[in-house]
Amino acid sequence: MKLRNIVILLTLLLVTGTFTAQAATDGIYSLGDNAVTWDGTDADRTKAVSTDYNFTYGDEESLTYTLPWNFSFYGQSYSQITVDTNGNIWFGATTAANSFSLPAAGRGPVSAAWNDDLSSVYDGGVFIQHKTNPERVVIEWRTETYTDEGNDRPNSFEIVLFQNGNIRFDYQSFAAANSKDFGSGISKDDTTHYLSVTANYANVYTLAVRSFSFTPAGSGTALVTVDFTGTGQGSVTSTPSGIACNTDCSAPFTSGNEVTLHPEASLYSYFGGWNGGGCSGTGDCIFSPSTDTTVIATFTYDVSHQVLIDTGTPTYYSSIQSAYDTTAEGTTIKLWATIYNESLACSRPVTVTLQGGYNSGYTAIVGDPVLNGALTITDGTLVLDGFSIQ
């Protein structure tokens, strides 16, 4: 192909918007040019603040926002972010900054959509909105440069954080007369790991109606599902975050990356073990899913310790009746604050106290035990100390 034809072909690709620059990478993220996308927020200063919507405005203002789920950025999990009116998201710092070095801001990890001195004193602001399907948090800036402040020269851009760790920069429009770009993009703030939209494309204020994505390396996702079974109760949490539940649940994780599932038994239960994901035993389940994976967590009600007679040496029983049948005169039988599905027949010439209801370690009374059955007394005395019959 002649040189003239090559030039014409490149010109057509650029005009039609189908030309995609080769992705850059810092070894942790890849930066690519997206099809044009705009998400937006309600961008309303009068709208009520909630867990799903917040905003601030002014000059050098900042807002700390609790995320609806933990977000992984450069290998660290964050439950909250701080956004400022200068076009930045800080993952650690809690105040505003501008015109900093992207590779080494000296303030911790940052996602800088437009690294300039910006202001929204007269109009606009920075708006945060949680959206679903897919799960994402949109941070939208409507702002002027500080030197244009009050001259009605608005600029509109956004960052979208996705639950799976992806990040998108969208630039909608720029009207600035005085603008600078000190290096916009993402950075771990370690001088080594950063990706600059400015360096790889152009000053961001020239990139209106453009979108760019930052994708974690190996960012294909695998859906991890935790199913619960057994007679007991408990919860499972994950590292990285995503799973935190006590009933069947699922969450996407980066394919091939290590996931740790941690079990925690509820009161009066114990963790019986794992099945699936290559896991077994009663410790943490650690695996690296490459495809959708289901792991079963078994929690068992600890029936063998639900009744205690302690006369110096603790002796546990699985039922009130079995404990009563062995008691001596004046014995106190300690019970959990739980439901006992049995009947109790007292027919011995002894005085026995039923006392409860205790926590699982019998160190404190936390409620009442309940007998879900018949109580029959034909001999002896039964003293009820915190006890009910259903």
Picking from 118, 122, 123, the residue whose alpha carbon sits closest to that of residue 178 is: 118
The distance in angstroms from the start CA to the end CA of the chain is 90
Q: Residue 253 in contact with residue 286, Cβ under 8 Å? A: no
Contact present, 102 and 182 (Cβ < 8 Å): yes
Structure token pair of residue 138: 């949109």
Phi, psi at 335, each rounded to 5°: -125, 150
| Concatenated DSSP letters of 137-170 | EEEEEEEEEGGGTTS---EEEEEEEETTS-EEEE
Closest CA to 264 of 228, 292, 303, 223: 228
Q: What is the DSSP letter of 205?
A: G
The torsion angles phi and psi of 322, rounded to 5 degrees, stand at: -65, -30
Dihedral sign computed on CA atoms, order 160, 119, 205, 74: negative
Q: How far apart are CA 166 and CA 293, in angstroms?
A: 21
pLDDT of residue 1: 35
Q: In the block, which residue shows the tokens 């997206």?
A: 34
Q: What is the CB neighbour count within 10 angstroms for residue 5?
A: 9
Query: Which of 206, 232, 291 has the alpha carbon at shortest distance from 256?
Result: 291
* Closest residue by Cα to residue 239 from 261, 263, 264: 261
Q: How many CB atoms lie within 10 A of CB 29?
A: 26
Round to whole Å and give the CA distance between 145 and 118: 4
Residue 23 pLDDT: 62
pLDDT string in tens for the chain (390-residue length): 333 333 333 333 333 333 334 469 998 899 999 888 899 999 999 999 999 999 999 999 999 999 998 888 988 889 999 999 999 999 999 999 999 999 999 999 999 999 999 999 999 999 999 999 888 999 999 999 999 999 999 999 999 999 888 999 999 999 999 999 999 999 999 999 999 999 999 999 999 999 999 988 755 678 899 999 999 999 999 998 889 999 999 988 877 778 999 999 999 999 999 998 889 999 999 988 877 899 999 999 999 999 999 988 999 999 999 999 999 999 999 999 999 999 999 999 999 999 999 999 999 999 999 999 999 999 999 999 988 888
Residue 54's contacts (CB-CB under 8 Å, 6 or more residues apart) are 63, 65, 127, 128
Paired strand residues for 331: 352
Structure tokens at 58: 């002014």
Token couple for 308? 């205690």
* Residue 378 DSSP SS3: strand
Are residues 191 and 157 in contact, defined by beta-carbon separation less than 8 angstroms? no
Q: How far apart are CA 136 and CA 55, in angstroms?
A: 16
99 — alpha (psi -120 to 50), left (phi > 0) or beta?
A: left
DSSP H or E segment with residue 224: strand 221-229
Q: What is the DSSP letter of 206?
A: G
Residues near 12 by beta carbon (within 8 Å), at least 6 away in sequence: none
